[in-house]
Structure 1
């Protein structure tokens, strides 16, 4: 029997902080309580002075495999995730080829089963032409269906109203949407191309992908979901304009329409384009500071349910191209917990809120089987945080295959010392302790 005993932890879980020990046996949390004792053969970690959190569940990442492995692989980005306290991820279908068939989806699961240090799930992709294939997706073993209601790679823009209506009417499971109105974005792009030509500054990105584009698309998604009582999750909200679409008067587990905000839309604002340029070019765009403040307020009052990353790495060469050629997306999955713990230090969030929005809420929203909480009988996905040792982001400790981060040079107040994935100690004090893959997540649907 594989046993791990964590002693003297400050456990942050279910809106409280308490000191206790945690015993892990065969992947599961076997016991939580004071003064637990170790049997022979038990691995012991004394966590005195450290916080123990459930592992972060990131419901939106792009790990680029298959087809874009010059940017990243499932293996490389899963390791970065684990080093950052992210024990489980849900990956998007806009790889090459796009995951638009059950076989292509199965191929990604096979890669993760061999190479992912973190627990994993993958979204089934939708196009204007594969609805029958989408409706074959198994709700028990797949996290959801992903719809790009705005431009994406390959054949993944869904702009056929008939297809959208049938999808929202017939989907057997959660639909996750990227909401930007394509016609609005194209019209804005034409305007700014005419104005600036090839010498366009990155700071116009939130003007190209503006508030109107977001609101038009998210309003359509909400209208379709309400019409058909669809289980809808809107990804990466970026504007104050959209927040009225979401309800905070009912518990998360009763919501049919949920939403998320990403760490970079809370951390950066449009002033940062002058310093970082295309490094923070992403879709939807990072916008003016007043949106950032509105998003934080909506997170606190539960109009926004989840904090995620939308981790989307590109090579430095790709990002160094002129604005119109530089791809959108930035690498984030190694640092979301440290970013939000900085908000705790600043008094903007509490530890309990960070855990609720990054661990409990994704588990509840996606109905994940026995993850997201520190509970007896649940999978031991756990993270230890040292609140007294800072972490500075540098080329030497960035684990993304792309090798860069818009956070380079920033010093965080905390350090992630240990990450446990499905009961296995995967990361400890800067070293990976195993090559054992994580597990495929299951869903209680």
Structure 2
């Protein structure tokens, strides 16, 4: 269908300008100031609402295959689209772990049949699958995931020789989870001996502490510099780590340094590390237990500062749902992870409402910079000829998060009861109006992301 969007405020490449936009053949056909006479199948008067490029989330756990009692690609893709996220990159610690090219392609097959959002999947690395990792096609897969801290699943890569070869020979971006496993295990034993079952409210931040993060992140940066690796460190959770990264800027589809060279080491912040802090464990407990942990308030302030200074390049979710029953267990048994993808953009728009970040910067960090960081082909911007991944937002429509509106299969959210000052009204995925005013159109699925890499 051809869609004509009139009277929008387009947020794109550091500017907010009034204008109209035409979608045809799945792409942005025209952008202009006066398109009301252009023929279209459906005309939508935005009435001054804001039109943004769809969010590209570079880190989610959609649990399929093998953990579908928690989530499926279909359910979590709907949650993404309801929240204005049009593309996702999913992690390999499913069951079985995505450690072969055959298992990787099986996930692409599932997504092609069931994901209303656009999709890509990481190839997983382990201590013994280097040959498989090196087969990964550079223009068809978002990256290689290395757990330098076991987190959830059984994918810890800790053999020094394997890490050295991975960082030296990887054909594309390596994304890392950085927590020092020895530090975490030692502190877990210490606090289990000290507190037993009667743990303090903030014990998770004490076990998975700043030391575990900075030690592992520093090691990853050292490896990358020694091997000239294209490294992307995920979910920075401490202010201490932000000093590891240089200031970057976007130029010609790349993230660059001040001297014009490519920024080879980039970083991601996640919405929960910008929104919650350790005091929220009193209220939410295991519901916000995640790896790396949510830490004391000064850390979230320093992370946001690094985002604004362009030392942290992108913002994502690490969406990782578990069932309500799993989360209701005792601290030592409750799994780490929380569902976030439906409310990532509302969280960032709320921070903009509070004056902590501009709307233009929200778009940069959730769309433009993600596309440039991963070199995604023809997405992430409002540009003629690009795929029409779009989200229409009403910044004056208050929204309360209620469980009846949640799309994630787990059925709960740490934001339940939260009042946001904005509302996602429409989401287009590759030119298809997938979500409008609370309703989905599942007649077309999303597309596999493609990448421009040498």
- TM bucket, shorter chain: over 0.9
Please name the residue that 1:168 is paired with. 167
Q: Alpha-carbon deviation of 1:396?
A: 1.1
Please name the residue that 1:370 is paired with. 378
Please name the residue that 1:405 is paired with. 413
1:103–1:202 distance in 2 versus 1, CA, 3 Å: farther
Equivalent runs, 1:239-388 vs 2, <5 Å = 239-248=238-247, 251=250, 252-253=255-256, 254-388=262-396
How far apart are the structure 1 equivalents of 2:64 and 2:248?
40
Please name the residue that 1:56 is paired with. 55
DSSP 3-state at the match of 1:138: coil
How far apart are the structure 1 equivalents of 2:229 and 2:3?
42
Q: Which moved more, 1:421-430 or 1:253-262?
A: 253-262
How far apart are the structure 1 equivalents of 2:444 and 2:179?
39
Contact 2:3-2:40 within 8 A present in 1 as well: no
Query: 1:229-263 CA deviation, whole Å, 9 max, x = no partner?
Result: 00000000011111111000565242100001000
Contact 1:100-1:130 within 8 A present in 2 as well: yes
Name the count of aligned residue pairs: 444
How far apart are the structure 1 equivalents of 2:149 and 2:279?
25
Please name the residue that 1:115 is paired with. 114
How far apart are the structure 2 equivalents of 1:40 and 1:184?
63
Contact 1:202-1:278 within 8 A present in 2 as well: no
Please name the residue that 2:259 is paired with. none
Contact 1:125-1:146 within 8 A present in 2 as well: yes
Contact 2:248-2:313 within 8 A present in 1 as well: no
Please name the residue that 1:148 is paired with. 147
Please name the residue that 1:65 is paired with. 64
Is the counterpart of residue 86 in structure 1 residue 85 in structure 2? yes
How far apart are the structure 1 equivalents of 2:415 and 2:229?
37
Contact 1:201-1:323 within 8 A present in 2 as well: no
Query: 1:159-185 CA deviation, whole Å, 9 max, x = no partner?
Result: 000000000000010000000000000
Contact 2:11-2:363 within 8 A present in 1 as well: yes
Please name the residue that 1:124 is paired with. 123
Contact 1:124-1:145 within 8 A present in 2 as well: yes
Structure 1 residues not aligned, in runs of 5+: none
TM-score (structure 1 length as normaliser): 0.98
Q: Alpha-carbon deviation of 1:198?
A: 2.2
1:128–1:38 distance in 2 versus 1, CA, 3 Å: farther
Q: Alpha-carbon deviation of 1:199?
A: 2.7
How far apart are the structure 1 equivalents of 2:131 and 2:151?
21
Q: Alpha-carbon deviation of 1:210?
A: 0.5
Q: Alpha-carbon deviation of 1:202?
A: 4.4
Structure 2 residues not aligned, in runs of 5+: 257-261
Structural RMSD (CA)? 1.0
DSSP 3-state at the match of 1:419: strand
Query: 1:375-398 CA deviation, whole Å, 9 max, x = no partner?
Result: 000000000001111110011111
Q: Alpha-carbon deviation of 1:201?
A: 3.8
How far apart are the structure 2 equivalents of 1:154 and 1:82?
27
Q: Which moved more, 1:108-117 or 1:147-156?
A: 147-156
1:396–1:367 distance in 2 versus 1, CA, 3 Å: same
Query: 1:123-158 CA deviation, whole Å, 9 max, x = no partner?
Result: 000000100000000010000000000013444100
Q: Alpha-carbon deviation of 1:40?
A: 5.0
1:300–1:41 distance in 2 versus 1, CA, 3 Å: closer
Please name the residue that 1:414 is paired with. 422
